[in-house]
A and B are shown apart, each in its own frame.
Chain A
Amino acid sequence: MAVALQVRNLYKRFDTDQGEVRAVEDVTFDVEAGAFFTLLGPSGCGKSTTLRCIAGLERPDDGDITLEDAVLVSSSQGMWTPPHKRPMGMVFQSYAIWPHMNVFDNVAFPLKQGPQKFSGAETRDRVLRALALVHLDGLEKRPAPQLSGGQQQRLALARALVNEPKALLLDEPLSNLDAKLREEMRNELKLLTSSLGITTLFVTHDQLEALTLSDQVAVMDSGRLVQYGPPREIYEAPRNRFAAEFIGSANFFEGAVTDAVEKGGITGVETAHGVLRCTAAEALPKGARVAVAVRPENVILHAGAPPEVHGVNVLSGTVRSVVYLGNTLDCLVDVDGALVKADVHPGEEVSEGDTVALSFKESASRVVPVGTVVAETEQAG
């Protein structure tokens, strides 16, 4: 597929009273035409700043941004396009619905005041179509501040889409909604963007949103892009400790690689709990310091520690706590002083103080570099 949006070596720093903040550091990625691309990361990692640089609301210190062959920003050529000259629509976290206009006028604004001129009938037609798209038809006359949170959100979406932008930018659009509405809007957003086939850039700190909505997820940490790829790859094969920890939770066992291994191959890792066998996320030399990451749901708990549990990756320990979460039991097991998390089927008979055995498959664990070492971004897909 063709690449719609290209971001190259983006840098943005802010001077504040407390000194310089490096909000975005050397961020590079491509978004394919029609793809749903998500920037995911903890609060303050620079997601919004990245998005705002793409929107033109922030002027990057360095870097290039291209949208469908049009160069928007190029530090080498000293080029910068102001936001109102970029063919993009944006939904803000606060929705930014203009309170002095009604629903219709909010959506009509880009058509009336924007660069293209439309006849009255044409404007009306387009506005109504946009409103129908987000199921707000019939509310044209309503003063905008009287809308509910979910309706404001749809209105913001209609306004962003009404003049058929080449890309749609969404900055945590779901975070102001309550849990149930959020799920509903998430599904609608997915349907809408895929039926329009519009290139979408989405910012969130919610991993569930990122995993369920996206074609591609980019994980950011302290201004840097840590990893990007399809959601499944990010989840199943995190390339470093930060990505593994931030998306879902994970247990880590640090150690040294026993045999050199190819990317995707199986290797042993000498840890404090013996040699563990697992899949390498990238090629590693013998002796490399790494951590083995295992997600709690991939840890199998053998209650009663029957001696017949053999094979690879078996650990034994004492249950420290059991928390009932409805669909799972959240167990913490003390394995030689290290606490290992395991999600267990609620039917399992396990209680505090039990001696148990734990195991996990070699395909269900990943070797990641130690610490939050930043991986160089890699051309995805």
Chain B
Amino acid sequence: MIGQQTTVGRAMRRGLRTDPQVLVVIGALGALLAFLVAVPLILVLWFSFRTAGPGERGGTFTVSNYVDTFLNPLTYELLINTFWFSVGSIVVGLVIGVGFAWLIERTNTPLRNFGFVSIVINSAMPAAMFAIAWVLVLNPRTGLVNLPFTAWLDWDKGPFNPNTMWAMIFVEGLRLAATIFLMVIGLFRSMDPSLEEASSMSQVGTFKTARHVTLPIMTPGILGVVVYIATSTVGVFEIPGVMGMPADIHVLATRIYLATSGVPPDYGFATSLATVAGILGVVGIFIYHRVTRIQQRFATVTGKGYRPRRIELGPTGRGISAALIILFFILTFGLPMFILFWASLIPFYQAPLPKALEFVSLDAYRFIITGPGRHEFLQGLRNSLLLILVVPALTMLLSAVVSWFVVRSRARGKAILDMLAFMPHTVPGIVMGLAWLIIGLFVLSPIYGTIWLIVIAHISLFIAYGTRTTNGAMFQIHRELEEAGAMSGAAWFSTFRSIIMPLLMPSLVAGWLWVAIHSGRELTVALLLQSSSNRIISAYVWQQFFGGRLNLAASAGVLLVLLIILLVILTRVLGQRLSRQQ
């Protein structure tokens, strides 16, 4: 017994290179990650070069999928649409996101906390629901923004239309603003504020300082954010799916979806398009790493005099910025939520005008909770809850173990582990969805059609995020803390369980929350993998919306948002408890 413990202790000090137990664990982890990440992607690539689709017998090597795809004029239209959609929405998101980050982090604007809350609360709303809400708001006849024209001017149609590229760009831009805000605010925080103060002390005013000092210094960082975001907009499905598809405005993701859900499914077209999207993603991440390396050249040493100071806005400035923050809240949460709630209250959608009040009722809620619709809805709810409980727990556990090997051990192969864990991030969600569809049909047919396939797919989707969080946290835990554990005679596993895990707990909780929210609202993969028995709420909302049962879609959606908000609050409370304990 004693002999064994010393072995572990010594192995830890030497970096575990020789311990066979550790090699076994690393091998097992590698195999698991390879199964979760590499196999699905390789299968996509494989089938893009096969004549037969998944599940079919036979088939030979071919490039005809690519030839067909690239001879098809539709493909170019797709690529061009995807390009404009990405560029447009990123520009919108950047202007709003960076502007807000500056206002909230760097100035004495009023409503700072409210601004923060409205950014975060936006993430509680699934993208598809957000798009549905905006479809209602922009509807040419009944949309709120068109009402002045139709109701007062008696026009046939108002000027705004949700089924256009412009509308898609605007709505996706609003979504991206929140993400960009959260990424950019970190950049603002890590910037030495004395760089701005030095400009003030050179008798240069606030806005000139923002333009000539703050913005140029942040440019490489912002560029990194842009590339990072761009890799995800290439594969974005929900908003083009809700707003563009009905008007035949297609992007990569919607075409892949259509190709797989058609009868018969066109896997050749889908897999070759997915490969193109995957390559774009990998290229994007490659550029991202280059850009962030450039950014490090800009990194300045912050002295111990570091202390953020807020720029003082005048009364007009404060007024304007307060108005902007309120407007942002209305556009990203208040208005969409209001419209969805309204839509859930009336059986056939009408504009929220006094004359429609007589139709208001809770029938839709009754129908899906206790009425004839309850089977489908409650099944979706059960499945969603299962995802929210199981996916984050497994993802964060796996992340913690992977991170330990990546950060702590000196075992060979840990770089491969890290790369595998990061890979899902470089691949658009729709491609992962397709990959898991193929696996489900081809390799894991026993669990095809069950919620467990979605569980596994989601873990593979979120492991990239999970390991980024735990890697960062693991770096902060001083190696000597666990060495002390080993020196006091604890074996590796008990050291990991009783020292590492508790110290990691705050980050695990934060990561857990992020994964829970994203798993609960995820649609793309869930939709591709759905069958009659594994439907989750977000897919239910989608199905009801396209089935024309708007009130059911809206009421389920409202309940989902409430569920996510509840989840956020619960974890916040739990997290605060935890950090108070430590």
Chain A interface residues toward B at CB < 8 A:
48, 55-59, 82-90, 92-100, 109-110, 113-115, 145, 156, 159-160, 163, 169, 171-172, 176
A110-B202 contact in complex given A94-B192, A145-B297, C-beta closer than 8 Å: yes
Contact present for A172 and B305 (CB under 8 Å): yes
Complex Cα gap A163–B195 (Å): 18
Contact present for B202 and A82 (CB under 8 Å): no
User: B301's contact among A56, A88, A94, by CB below 8 Å, is which?
Assistant: A94
Q: Which of B294-309 contact A (CB under 8 A)?
A: 297-306, 309
Contact present for A92 and B204 (CB under 8 Å): no
Contact present for B213 and A98 (CB under 8 Å): yes
Complex Cα gap A59–B199 (Å): 17
Q: Does chain A have a CB within 8 A of B412?
A: no
Residue of A nearest to B192 (CB): A94
Contact present for A87 and B303 (CB under 8 Å): no
* B304 surroundings in chain A (CB, below 8 A): 93
Q: Does chain A have a CB within 8 A of B194?
A: yes
* A89 surroundings in chain B (CB, below 8 A): 201-202
Q: Does chain A have a CB within 8 A of B366?
A: no
A98-B217 contact in complex given A56-B200, A83-B200, A113-B202, C-beta closer than 8 Å: yes
User: A163's contact among B192, B202, B209, B306, by CB below 8 Å, is which?
Assistant: B202
Q: Does chain A have a CB within 8 A of B197?
A: yes
Contact present for B302 and A94 (CB under 8 Å): yes
A97-B300 contact in complex given A85-B203, A92-B197, A109-B204, C-beta closer than 8 Å: yes
* B217 surroundings in chain A (CB, below 8 A): 98-100
Q: Does chain A have a CB within 8 A of B17?
A: no
* A156 surroundings in chain B (CB, below 8 A): 198
Chain B interface residues toward A at CB < 8 A:
192, 194-195, 197-206, 208-209, 212-213, 216-217, 219, 297-306, 309, 312
* A113 surroundings in chain B (CB, below 8 A): 199, 202, 204, 208, 212
| The 8 residue pairs across chains A and B that have the minimum distance between CB atoms | A94-B303, A110-B202, A96-B198, A83-B200, A96-B194, A93-B303, A90-B201, A93-B305
User: Which residue among A48, A57, A96, A109 has the maximum number of chain B CB atoms within 10 Å of its CB?
Assistant: A96
Complex Cα gap A5–B199 (Å): 22
Contact present for B195 and A96 (CB under 8 Å): yes
* B219 surroundings in chain A (CB, below 8 A): 100
Residue of B nearest to A97 (CB): B300
Residue of B nearest to A83 (CB): B200
User: B201's contact among A59, A83, A97, A98, by CB below 8 Å, is which?
Assistant: A83
* A84 surroundings in chain B (CB, below 8 A): 199-206, 209
User: A55's contact among B201, B204, B299, B303, by CB below 8 Å, is which?
Assistant: B201
* A86 surroundings in chain B (CB, below 8 A): 201, 203
Complex Cα gap A98–B298 (Å): 9
Measured between C-beta atoms, what is the minimum distance from A53 to chain B in Å? 12
User: A96's contact among B197, B206, B216, by CB below 8 Å, is which?
Assistant: B197
A100-B208 contact in complex given A145-B300, A159-B198, C-beta closer than 8 Å: no
* B297 surroundings in chain A (CB, below 8 A): 99, 145
* B216 surroundings in chain A (CB, below 8 A): 98, 100
User: B194's contact among A56, A92, A99, A163, by CB below 8 Å, is which?
Assistant: A92
User: Which residue among A87, A89, A95, A98 has the maximum number of chain B CB atoms within 10 Å of its CB?
Assistant: A98
Measured between C-beta atoms, what is the minimum distance from A368 to chain B in Å? 31
Contact present for A87 and B203 (CB under 8 Å): yes
Contact present for A98 and B198 (CB under 8 Å): yes
Complex Cα gap A160–B197 (Å): 12
User: B204's contact among A56, A94, A114, A160, by CB below 8 Å, is which?
Assistant: A114
Contact present for B194 and A114 (CB under 8 Å): no
User: B306's contact among A85, A94, A109, A114, by CB below 8 Å, is which?
Assistant: A94
Complex Cα gap A88–B203 (Å): 8
Complex Cα gap A139–B202 (Å): 21
* A115 surroundings in chain B (CB, below 8 A): 203
Measured between C-beta atoms, what is the minimum distance from B531 to chain A in Å? 52
A57-B203 contact in complex given A99-B298, A100-B217, A176-B303, C-beta closer than 8 Å: no
A82-B302 contact in complex given A87-B203, A109-B212, C-beta closer than 8 Å: no
Complex Cα gap A286–B192 (Å): 56
* B300 surroundings in chain A (CB, below 8 A): 94, 97, 99, 145
Complex Cα gap A224–B470 (Å): 45
A57-B202 contact in complex given A92-B305, A94-B301, A113-B212, C-beta closer than 8 Å: no
> 10 A–B contact pairs at CB < 8 A?
A55-B197, A55-B201, A84-B199, A84-B201, A86-B201, A93-B303, A100-B298, A113-B199, A114-B204, A145-B297
A92-B309 contact in complex given A82-B200, A83-B201, A84-B204, C-beta closer than 8 Å: no
Complex Cα gap A97–B213 (Å): 10
User: B200's contact among A57, A59, A176, by CB below 8 Å, is which?
Assistant: A57
Complex Cα gap A92–B306 (Å): 10
Complex Cα gap A56–B203 (Å): 11
Complex Cα gap A169–B208 (Å): 22
User: B309's contact among A57, A85, A87, A110, by CB below 8 Å, is which?
Assistant: A57
Measured between C-beta atoms, what is the minimum distance from B202 to chain A in Å? 3
Residue of B nearest to A80 (CB): B312
* B199 surroundings in chain A (CB, below 8 A): 84, 98, 109, 113
* B208 surroundings in chain A (CB, below 8 A): 113
User: B195's contact among A48, A58, A85, A98, by CB below 8 Å, is which?
Assistant: A98
Residue of B nearest to A59 (CB): B312
Residue of B nearest to A57 (CB): B197
Contact present for B203 and A114 (CB under 8 Å): yes
* A59 surroundings in chain B (CB, below 8 A): 312
* B202 surroundings in chain A (CB, below 8 A): 84, 89, 109-110, 113-114, 159, 163
Measured between C-beta atoms, what is the minimum distance from B54 to chain A in Å? 51
Kindly list 16 other residue pairs between chains A and B, CB separation below 8 angstroms, not including A84-B199, A110-B202, A113-B208: A55-B197, A82-B312, A84-B202, A84-B203, A92-B198, A92-B305, A93-B194, A94-B300, A96-B192, A97-B300, A98-B216, A100-B216, A113-B202, A115-B203, A159-B202, A160-B201
Complex Cα gap A89–B203 (Å): 9
Residue of A nearest to B219 (CB): A100
* B204 surroundings in chain A (CB, below 8 A): 84, 109-110, 113-114
Complex Cα gap A196–B212 (Å): 30
* A88 surroundings in chain B (CB, below 8 A): 201
* A114 surroundings in chain B (CB, below 8 A): 202-204
* A160 surroundings in chain B (CB, below 8 A): 201
Complex Cα gap A163–B212 (Å): 18
Measured between C-beta atoms, what is the minimum distance from A160 to chain B in Å? 7
Complex Cα gap A57–B203 (Å): 12
* B205 surroundings in chain A (CB, below 8 A): 84
* B194 surroundings in chain A (CB, below 8 A): 92-94, 96
Complex Cα gap A156–B303 (Å): 14
Complex Cα gap A99–B202 (Å): 16
* A145 surroundings in chain B (CB, below 8 A): 297-298, 300
Residue of B nearest to A113 (CB): B204
* A163 surroundings in chain B (CB, below 8 A): 202-203
Complex Cα gap A114–B302 (Å): 25
Complex Cα gap A90–B306 (Å): 15
Contact present for B305 and A48 (CB under 8 Å): yes
Complex Cα gap A172–B194 (Å): 13
Measured between C-beta atoms, what is the minimum distance from A211 to chain B in Å? 23
Measured between C-beta atoms, what is the minimum distance from B205 to chain A in Å? 5
* B212 surroundings in chain A (CB, below 8 A): 109, 113
Complex Cα gap A88–B208 (Å): 18
Complex Cα gap A171–B307 (Å): 14
Residue of A nearest to B298 (CB): A99
* A90 surroundings in chain B (CB, below 8 A): 197-198, 201
* B309 surroundings in chain A (CB, below 8 A): 57-58
* A169 surroundings in chain B (CB, below 8 A): 201
Residue of B nearest to A94 (CB): B303
Complex Cα gap A159–B201 (Å): 10
Residue of A nearest to B306 (CB): A94
* B306 surroundings in chain A (CB, below 8 A): 94
Complex Cα gap A98–B218 (Å): 11
Complex Cα gap A143–B205 (Å): 24
